[in-house]
């Protein structure tokens, strides 16, 4: 168990946008992680998300496998992924369900459980997806200000006018048969995209971050959950976009013997957006990488 990390808390409803942007800038440079509060997703909706998630992951495996992941949508079973290629683990001790964009040409690729089995599933996911997408879009405006850009910069370059966003529901079982093998809930990795907004059910998951990902030995720090807050982190694409000014931090989840649910929302640009080092993040002493 690592030391607890005291991450900055960003208030999305603050009227002082430039001060908030400055706080985001510092958080992204120093940690690559921060908490987001007053984001507009009510606790009642967060509760419903985890209730529906529990119902789905409690279904028989045969039923869940009928929705096995295709085109990055659908169910991924226990141990099917290992996010750290260097790890000897047989796979991460989690199962998950992906939901892709709800609108656009590929929205029909989403898979949905039967309404007879889970009558409130689709409507709940639809509502949560749209609310987090709106919160993420507001946050992207502040990130633009944090990078000394126009507030609508990412819209103008085609990143957030029609973003690509995926919701991933995750279930970490409580009791595991490790057979003496080291098991990770989610092995060490960094996210690949722009930003990730994570909601948790409050169960400690030892979500740990390693700020210096290229140094050995790695030093892991715990990120406690804050009721109702999203945990936001920067992805590899945003790190490259900012010429490595903002950091995409290595992180992992360790099993604690307690069942745990979370919902990760990956907000990325649309596929046609060109990503190149931002001028505001480059100089003679720090040229584009």
Query: Euclidean distance between the first and final Cα of the chain, in Å?
Result: 35
What is d(CA 254, CA 187) in angstroms, rounded to the nearest whole number? 8
Asked whether the predicted pLDDT for residue 184 surpasses 90, the reply is no
> Given a cut of 90, is residue 220 above it in pLDDT?
no
Within a domain: 187 = yes
pLDDT value for 245: 97
Cα–Cα distance between 45 and 68 in angstroms, integer? 26
- Asked whether the predicted pLDDT for residue 1 surpasses 60, the reply is no
Q: What is the pLDDT of residue 23?
A: 98
**196 near 235, Cβ under 8 Å?**
yes
Beta bridge partners of 208: 222, 252
Its pTM stands at 0.94
Question: Is the confidence at residue 171, as pLDDT, over 70?
Answer: yes
Q: Cβ(286)–Cβ(242) under 8 Å? A: no
pLDDT band at 2 (very low <50, low <70, confident <90, very high): low
pLDDT score, position 179: 63
- Per-residue confidence (pLDDT) for residue 254, from 0 to 100: 86
Query: How many distinct structural domains can be found in the chain?
Result: 1
Q: Is residue 286 part of a domain?
A: no
Classify burial at 265, counting beta carbons within 10 Å of its beta carbon; exposed 0-12, middle 13-18, buried 19 or more: buried
User: Which CATH number belongs to the domain containing residue 211 in this structure?
Assistant: 2.60.120.330
| 284 occurs within a structural domain | no
Q: Within a 10 A sphere around the Cβ of 96, how many other Cβ atoms?
A: 24
Helix axes 121-146, 17-30, angle to 10 degrees: 90
> Would 287 be classed as within a structural domain?
no
pLDDT of residue 255: 84
pLDDT at 251 over 90: yes
283: in domain? no
| pLDDT > 70: percent of the chain | 96
Q: For strands 230-234 and 33-37, give the pairing.
A: antiparallel
Which pLDDT value is given to residue 215? 83
Report the 3 state secondary structure along 99-129.
Answer: ECCCCCCCHHHCCCCCCCCCCCHHHHHHHHH
Which domain range does residue 153 map to? 3-278
Of residues 231 and 181, which shows the higher confidence score? 231
Is the per-residue pLDDT at 151 higher than 90?
A: yes
Q: Which residue has the higher pLDDT, 179 or 224?
A: 224
From CA 175, how far away is CA 256, in angstroms rounded? 9
- pLDDT tens digits, one per residue of 86-130: 777 788 999 999 999 998 878 899 999 999 999 999 999 999 999
Using alpha carbons only, give the angle 137, 143, 145 rounded to the nearest 5 degrees. Answer: 115
Q: Residue 260 pLDDT more than 60?
A: yes
Main-chain dihedrals φ then ψ at residue 286, nearest 5 degrees: -135, 75
**What is 50-101 written as a DSSP string?**
HHHHHHHHTS-HHHHHTTB-BTTBEEE-TT---S-TT---S--S-EEEEE--
Residue 49 has pLDDT above 90, yes or no: yes
Any idea which of 51-65, 116-130, 195-209, 243-257 has the lowest mean pLDDT?
A: 195-209
Mean pLDDT of the chain: 92
Q: Is the pLDDT of residue 206 over 90?
A: no
Task: Find where tokens 């908490």 sit.
Answer: 35
pLDDT in tens, 232-244: 999 999 999 999 9
* Maximum Cα–Cα distance across the chain: 62
pLDDT of amino acid 204: 67
pLDDT band at 211 (very low <50, low <70, confident <90, very high): confident
| pLDDT at residue 61, as a whole number | 97
- Does 161 fall in a domain? yes
């Amino acid at each position: 168990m690592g030391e607890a990390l005291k991450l900055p808390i960003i208030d999305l409803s603050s009227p002082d946008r430039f001060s908030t942007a400055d706080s985001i800038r510092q958080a992204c440079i120093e940690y690559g992680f921060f908490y987001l509060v007053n984001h507009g997703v009510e606790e009642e909706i967060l509760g419903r998300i985890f209730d529906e998630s529990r119902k789905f992951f409690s279904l028989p495996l045969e039923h869940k496998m009928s929705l096995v992941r295709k085109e990055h949508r659908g169910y991924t079973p226990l141990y099917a992924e290992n996010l750290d290629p260097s790890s000897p683990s047989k796979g991460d001790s989690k199962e998950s369900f992906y939901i892709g964009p709800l609108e656009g040409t590929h929205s029909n690729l989403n898979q949905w459980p039967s309404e007879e089995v889970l009558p409130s599933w689709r409507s709940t996911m639809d509502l949560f997806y749209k609310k987090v997408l709106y919160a993420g879009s507001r946050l992207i405006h502040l990130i633009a200000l944090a990078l000394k850009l126009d507030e609508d910069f990412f819209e103008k370059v085609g990143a957030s006018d029609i973003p690509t966003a995926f919701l991933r529901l995750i279930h970490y079982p409580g009791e595991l048969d490790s057979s003496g093998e080291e098991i990770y809930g989610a092995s060490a990795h960094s996210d690949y995209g722009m930003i990730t907004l994570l909601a948790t059910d409050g169960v400690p998951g030892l979500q740990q971050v390693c700020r210096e990902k290229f140094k050995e030995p790695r030093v892991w720090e715990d990120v406690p959950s804050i009721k109702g807050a999203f945990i936001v982190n920067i992805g590899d694409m945003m790190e490259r976009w900012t010429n490595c000014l903002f950091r995409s931090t290595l992180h992992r989840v360790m099993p604690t013997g307690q069942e745990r649910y979370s919902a990760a929302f990956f907000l990325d640009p649309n596929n046609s957006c060109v990503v190149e080092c931002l001028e505001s993040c480059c100089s003679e002493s720090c040229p584009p990488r």
